Each structure stands twice: as structure tokens, then as C-alpha cells.
Amino acid sequence: MKLYNTLTREKEEFVPVNEGEVKMYSCGPTVYNYFHIGNARPFIIFDTLRKYFEYKGYKVKFVQNFTDIDDKMIENANGQGIDVKKLADKFINEYFTDAEGLGIEAADVHPKATETIGDIIRFVKKLVEKGFAYEASGDVYFNTSKLDRYGKLSGQNLEELEAGARVDVGEKKKNPADFTLWKAQKPGEPAWDSPWGKGRPGWHIECSVMANKYLGETIDIHSGGQDLIFPHHENEIAQSESANGKPFARYWLHNGFLNVDNQKMSKSLGNFFTVRDISKHFDYEVIRFFMLTAHYRSPINFSSDQLQQAKNGLDRIYNFLDNLNYLKDNTQDREFLENEKAVLKTIGDLKNKFLAAMDDDINTADAVASIFEMVRQGNTKLSGSSSKKMVIQIEKTVKELCGVLNIAQKQSSSKLDDEVEALIEKRQQARKDKNYKLADEIRDQLKSMDIELQDTPQGVKWKKV
């Protein structure tokens, strides 16, 4: 499997530190709001990569943090007159609601900055002791002049970085490119005790510390959006490699940006959308599918037309699965004919194409195209006179590949209809038999399938909620 490594600017064969295992760290959200459609891109893409590794038999350990203390957290909490923890707790919960909707599996660990303070302090102390960091009036800075290769990820040298660096009022840096590891407390800010007085961690340090704590000194994959290459990931490399004296991450993966109507998304342009807003108009699953229709490194344009197209594409797959379901009950139980063997060979080739696309730097766009081609083949080649075995085999392949991408996972509608009708009938019978316990149990089972029942004079009606 090949992955594009930002560090070397090449597609490289993926070779993990330990055979058969993958240690992945992805930068998570700052939890002061619902996450927006741009944030959804790395969450969906790197979840898909994780699932693909698992499909290939790797044991994956995946860590994604929550930044629950920083300037934006403090500003937003103050604006709402609540404390930072309350704001963070709310939006961590909301993160999980949206992520689950989008089919993103929870990471193995979701560490929070505020719960990692002791480890962060120890890490910063180590950097100070090794001479890579210095304290100035309660702040601690990383000394970029101590490194030979600061800038290797973003491909810049120290002079260029220094020329572009900004020194804020009140900062006491030795070199313009130095960055904060620990910030002294300002009045009214949450703070923790440290050897440098009360303060809080800078942003970059939390990811170095969490990756080290949960995955070890050298990890396989570190990922995030392209905007994080500099300074965030550059600084993570500086911190981790200086503290441990070992390479930090072997592969650096960065997703391209999502624009809205071909413009950068921003609140002031009025084109800022949270996933929660969009989920009121389109199924979460459509949003996931939309993200996977593009290659993760290309920029992607978001608009309601694009989402509508994604919905149409997903519906096509669902309709196909519905048809297969129907054909399973309405085809003959017999061996394959010669022409059917040829169809199955085409389906097999398309599965290989899907896998080759995923192996080529997770090219989900081409992988999705292979699924569509299977649907097209199936629609033209299958009929009531096909062999049942062939229908079953095609269904198995399409479902397996949709499973890798975690799309089209809802039960197909006709199958759901049959199942719900059967349960409702069973419940009616239980009520006739005065077995109210069983009737209630069935109602609960339907509820867990998101089916709502209504007793009407015309009988029991149901709907999916």
C-alpha cells in the first residue's frame, strides 16, 4: 500500500514500525462549537483509512485529541458566561453525535488537553533540561535556533521562517520563530500549577505529548488538514524529536481543503456550515459519501448541488441493493451459465480495481467509481432468469466494498418493510393473546430500530423517525 508522505513529498510504500500494527494519531477539533463541514473531511478520511487498514488485517491503534483549552475556548466560554469545562463537555458530546451519524468510529483514545497537564509539564521540563526550551517571565518557549532542520515538513529554512514570524506584544522570545510551550496565566484565565508558575499549555505541545503517551516515541501515521503542516505539525516534530532523540512520525498525511461555492469558508462571508446544520437537510450518510467521492488530497468544493449529486449516487447504490434483494427471492437455484461466469469475472476485476485504488494513497474517488461500475454491470446483466447464486455473489461483493467505506449500510427499504411488518403482526398477536409483556418488548425492539408506531382506527401505522 502506498501513501503520500508530506515529509518526503513522495508516495511511499507503507511499512509500519511493528509488523501488522498501525499507530495513528490525528489532530482533533477544538471544542468550542459544532464541527463544520471542513473539519468533517479529515475526520471522515482518516476514519476510512483506519477502516481500510483493519480490512487488510492490521491491528490499528488510533488516537484523536480534543483541544479543550486555548484562546478560542476561553473567548467563547467568556462570551457565553459559562466556564471552559462546561463549553468543552457540551461540544465533545455534540462531536460524538455528529461523528456517529457520519459513520466515524470513536478513536481508541480521545485524550483531552486538560486531562494531560501532568504529562505536558513533564515533557516541557525535559525540553528545558535538554536545552531546547527556555523560560521567560512565566512563559516557556521552544528555541528553534537549537535545531538544524526546523522547517523540514513545510520545506522552509529558518531564515525564511524568521522573516515571516510575528512576535506578539508581551512575548519574550529569543528568536522570532520560537513558539510557546507553556503560557503564563493572564487575569481570569483557567490555569494549572507548574514549575514556571500558574499557566496553561500551548497548542502544539498537547499533540506531541498525547501521541507519545498513547502510541510511543515513534508512530506510523500522523494526519490532519493541510493548514496544520505549518506551524502545528512542524512544531510537533521539533518538540517530539528534540525530547526523544528519535523520528516522530514516519508518514505525514494531509487532506486538502474544503471550499464552499469555490470560496474559503468563513463566518464573515456567510458561507459557514456546521455538519449539524447540513444534517437537517441531507442524511449524514450523504455527507460521508460526498467526501469519499473526491481524492482526499485534492481541494473539494462543497455546495448543495454537489450534495444532491452525492445523494443521487448513494440512492443508485441503495436501489441496486433493493433490486438484488428482490432478485434473490425471484431467481432460479442453478449453476452458472458461461456468460454468467464472465459477469462474475468482471465483478472480480472491479473488486481488484477498488482495492488497487485504495492501495494507491487511499484513492476513494476511484474506489467509488468501481462500485458504480459494479452497479451498472449488475443492472444491465441481471434479470429474473439469472442464477440466484450469481445474485448472491454480486450482493456479497458490493456489500463488502461498501462496508470498507462504511456507506450504504442502512437496511434496504424493502427488507426493512418486511421485517417491520412481521414484527407488527407478531405484536398484534401478542396483544390478542393478552401477552402484554411480549407486546411491549416488540414495541421496544421497533423503537431501537427507529420505528415509531401509532395505533389508529385503521390499524397500526408506522414510520421511520
Distance of CA 443 to the CA centre of its chain: 34
Select the binding partner of residue 147 from ligand AMP, Zn ion, none (C-beta < 5 to 8 A, by kind). Answer: none
Contact partner, 136, from Zn ion, ligand AMP, none, Cβ < 5-8 Å per class: none
Decide if 22 contacts 221 (C-beta within 8 A): yes
Per-residue 3-state assignment (H helix, E strand, C coil) for the chain: CEEEECCCCEEEECCCCCCCEEEEEECCCECCCCCEHHHHHHHHHHHHHHHHHHHCCCEEEEEECEECCCHHHHHHHHHHCCCHHHHHHHHHHHHHHHHHHCCCCCCCECCEHHHCHHHHHHHHHHHHHCCCEEEECCEEEECHHHCCCCCCCCCCCHHHHHHHCCCCCCCCCCCCCCEEEEEECCCCCCCECCCCCCEEECHHHHHHHHHHHHHCCCEEEEEEEHHHHHHHHHHHHHHHHHHHCCCCEEEEEEECCEEECCECCCHHHCCCCEHHHHCCCCCHHHHHHHHHCCCCCCCEEECHHHHHHHHHHHHHHHHHHHHHHHHHHCCECCCCCHHHHHHHHHHHHHHHHHHHHHHECCCHHHHHHHHHHHHHHHHHHCCCCCEHHHHHHHHHHHHHHHHHHCCCCCCCHHHHHHHHHHHHHHHHHHHHCCCHHHHHHHHHHHHHCCEEEEEECCEEEEEEC
Rank residues 265 and 416 by Cβ distance to ligand AMP and give the closer one.
Answer: 265
Site string for ligand AMP, 214-243 (x = CB under 6 A): ----------xx-xx---------------
The reply on whether position 76 binds ligand AMP by CB under 6 A is no
**Rounded Cα–Cα distance for residues 298 and 292 (Å):** 11
CB-nearest residue to ligand AMP: 225
Is 42 a binder of ligand AMP (CB under 6 A)? yes
Our finding on whether 29 is near ligand AMP (CB under 6 A) is yes
User: How far is residue 425's CA from residue 344's CA, in Å, rounded to a whole number?
Assistant: 39
Interaction mask 163-182, Zn ion, x per CB under 5 A: --------------------
Which residue lies nearer to Zn ion by CB, 146 or 222?
A: 222
CB of 67 to ligand AMP, least distance (A): 7
Contact flag: residue 50 with ligand AMP (CB under 6 A):
no
Could you say which of Zn ion, ligand AMP, none residue 38 binds, taking C-beta under 5 to 8 angstroms by partner kind?
A: ligand AMP
Residue 258 contacts ligand AMP per CB under 6 A: yes
- Of 72 and 389, which CB lies nearer to Zn ion in the complex structure? 72
| 39 near ligand AMP (CB under 6 A) | yes
Q: Which is nearer to ligand AMP, 257 or 326 (CB)?
A: 257
Residue 265 engages ligand AMP in binding (rule: CB under 6 A): yes
41 is a contact residue toward ligand AMP (CB under 6 A): yes
Residue 182: CA count within 13 A, CB half-sphere: 31
The answer to the question of residue 207 lying near Zn ion (CB under 5 A) is: yes
Q: Which does 207 bind (CB under 5 to 8 A by kind): ligand AMP, Zn ion, none?
A: Zn ion
Q: Of Zn ion, ligand AMP, none, which one sits near residue 41, judging by CB under 5 to 8 A according to partner kind?
A: ligand AMP
Query: What does the longest C-alpha to C-alpha distance in the chain come to?
Result: 84
Q: Which of 27, 343, 355, 446 binds ligand AMP (CB under 6 A)?
A: 27
265 contact, one of Zn ion, ligand AMP, none, CB 5-8 Å limit per kind: ligand AMP
Cell representation of residue 218: 515513534
Q: Is 30 in the site for ligand AMP (CB under 6 A)?
A: yes
- Residue 38 sits in the site that holds ligand AMP (CB under 6 A): yes
Please identify, using beta-carbon distances, which residue of 143 and 279 lies nearer to ligand AMP.
279
In angstroms, give the least distance from the CB of 269 to ligand AMP: 12
Interface with ligand AMP includes 257 (CB under 6 A)? yes
Region binding ligand AMP by CB under 6 A among candidate stretches 175-183, 254-262, 306-314, 407-415: 254-262
By the rule CB under 5 A, 27 interacts with Zn ion: yes
Which lies closer to Zn ion via its Cβ, residue 70 or residue 135? 70
Minimum separation from the CB atom of position 66 to ligand AMP (A): 10
Q: Which residues bind ligand AMP (CB under 6 A)?
A: 27, 29-30, 38-39, 41-42, 224-225, 227-228, 255, 257-258, 265
Q: Which residues bind Zn ion (CB under 5 A)?
A: 27, 207
